[in-house]
Amino acid sequence: MAGAIWVLGESKGSDLARVSAEVATLGSALGAAAGLDVVGVVAGASPDGLAAEFARYLPLVHSLAVPEAAETAFASAVGPSLAALVEREQPAYLLVGATSDGRDIAGILSVLLGWGVIANASAILWQDGRPEVEVSILGGKLLTTSVFTGQHGIITVRPTSVTAEPLASRGSVVPVTVSPEIALPAVTVVSRVAEESEAVPIDEARVIVCAGRGVGGPEGMHLVQALANELGGTVGASRAAVDSGWIPYSQQIGQTGKTVKPRLYVGLGVSGAMQHMVGMRTSETIVAVNRDAEAPIAEVADLVVIGDLFAFVQALISALQARST
């Protein structure tokens, strides 16, 4: 399978991460354009179940068992095995989601394999016999294209860059084993805590209602949540709302939070500081509610509601409910 395009599948809890299915779909289109095979790889303590799920999106998935991954930190545990498998099977390119695990693995594989990394792809074309990677930089102000200077490379792909499409028929799972010559220092996992949440993670959400400082406090947050429920969305936040302790950091959008690209972003009492806008300006539709007509978020919005957010959101919820009955 030399020269193939490989796609790494990762888990979220016990399921396949949605971004992995998206990257598989992106990789398949790239493979078709390039005339290259596209192969999935899932590594972990007991990867077969996840590999089977991944095979809904790819014709062939390697299931690489790395027992150490059960109680040691993921990327350091699976990195050497993945590198050994790559060296044996000689794929040309590796695609992985730009998630915390995906980036950790990309960094480790980059140095173990000596391959370059192009990060945060939003699209990949096949041009002149190599991938041409589109990256939205500076918070979406510019779209750049990048290439590898050599014959190999690792590409991390932003969540929600494409819509995942399962294959007509499920692919096959092939268990593989390797004995890597090196190991990375073990990092013990003392405990894993899943914070139960019904909501879709913010960077995968199709609809986001974002709370800013203007929401004022926990009471305002209830209103934000109510609107998110009505729209089938996830609640996000500016750093001001996170710093105020109204919502956990995991929901923060922006430079030091998550980059999101939902179909709909609704900002409530968000001014639109540069550090916030870099995380949301590539959203498909942006609606901003602010009592200040001069708020900078209007620069990137498709629709601006000028007025008090509390009165407006209550009216909007009523209007949405009236519509659905």
Partner 1 sequence: MRIVVLAKPVPDAGQERLRNDFRMDREATTEVINGNDEYALEAALKLVEASPDGGEVVLLAMAPDHAQETLRKGLALGAASAVLVTDPALEGSCALTTAHVLAAALRELSFDLVIAGVDTSDGGGGVVAAGVAALLGLPYLSYAARIEPSDGRVRVRRITPNGYEVLEAPMPALISATQALGAPRYPTLKGIMGARRKEIVIRTLADLDLAGARARGVEVGGAAATARVTGSRPRAPRGTPKVVQGSPAEAAQEVVTFLAERRLI
Ligand X SMILES: Cc1cc2nc3c(=O)[nH]c(=O)nc-3n(C[C@H](O)[C@H](O)[C@H](O)COP(=O)(O)OP(=O)(O)OC[C@H]3O[C@@H](n4cnc5c(N)ncnc54)[C@H](O)[C@@H]3O)c2cc1C
**What distance in Å separates the CA atoms of residue 261 and residue 284, rounded to the nearest whole number?**
7
Q: Which residues bind ligand X (CB under 6 A)?
A: 212-214, 238-241, 252-257, 269-271, 273, 275-276, 279, 289-292, 295, 308-310
- The smaller minimum CB distance to ligand X, of residues 82 and 240, is found at 240
Residue 94, binding choice from partner 1, ligand X, none, Cβ under 5 to 8 Å by partner class: none
Residue 318, binding choice from ligand X, partner 1, none, Cβ under 5 to 8 Å by partner class: partner 1
Q: Least distance from C-beta 101 to partner 1, angstroms? A: 8
User: Rounded to the nearest 5 degrees, what angle is found at the Cα of 96, between the Cα atoms of 278 and 208?
Assistant: 40
For residue 122, give the DSSP letter: E
**What distance in Å separates the CA atoms of residue 275 and residue 69, rounded to the nearest whole number?**
36
Q: Which long-range contacts (CB under 8 A, 24 or more apart) does 282-290 make?
A: 282/122, 282/136, 282/140, 283/208, 289/313, 290/214
What is the length of the chain? 325
Residue 238, binding choice from partner 1, ligand X, none, Cβ under 5 to 8 Å by partner class: ligand X
Q: Least distance from C-beta 303 to partner 1, angstroms? A: 5
**What distance in Å separates the CA atoms of residue 80 and residue 59, rounded to the nearest whole number?**
25
- The smaller minimum CB distance to partner 1, of residues 67 and 248, is found at 248
Residue type at 29 in one-letter notation: A
Residue 240, binding choice from partner 1, ligand X, none, Cβ under 5 to 8 Å by partner class: ligand X
Residue 290, binding choice from ligand X, partner 1, none, Cβ under 5 to 8 Å by partner class: ligand X
Strands 38-44 and 60-65: parallel
Residue 270, binding choice from partner 1, ligand X, none, Cβ under 5 to 8 Å by partner class: ligand X
Q: Least distance from C-beta 291 to ligand X, angstroms? A: 4
Q: Least distance from C-beta 175 to partner 1, angstroms? A: 26
**What distance in Å separates the CA atoms of residue 208 and residue 279, rounded to the nearest whole number?**
12
Number of residue whose CB is nearest ligand X: 254
Of 324, 204, 197, 185, the C-alpha closest to 258 is: 204
- The smaller minimum CB distance to partner 1, of residues 91 and 140, is found at 140
- The smaller minimum CB distance to ligand X, of residues 271 and 282, is found at 271
Q: Is 129:77 a contact under the CB 8 Å cutoff?
A: no
Residue 87, binding choice from ligand X, partner 1, none, Cβ under 5 to 8 Å by partner class: none
For residue 250, give the DSSP letter: G
Q: Least distance from C-beta 13 to ligand X, angstroms? A: 25
- The smaller minimum CB distance to partner 1, of residues 225 and 314, is found at 314
Q: Least distance from C-beta 40 to partner 1, angstroms? A: 19
Q: Is 267:289 a contact under the CB 8 Å cutoff?
A: yes
Residue 121's DSSP bridge partners are: 135, 157
- The smaller minimum CB distance to partner 1, of residues 33 and 319, is found at 319
Q: Least distance from C-beta 252 to partner 1, angstroms? A: 7
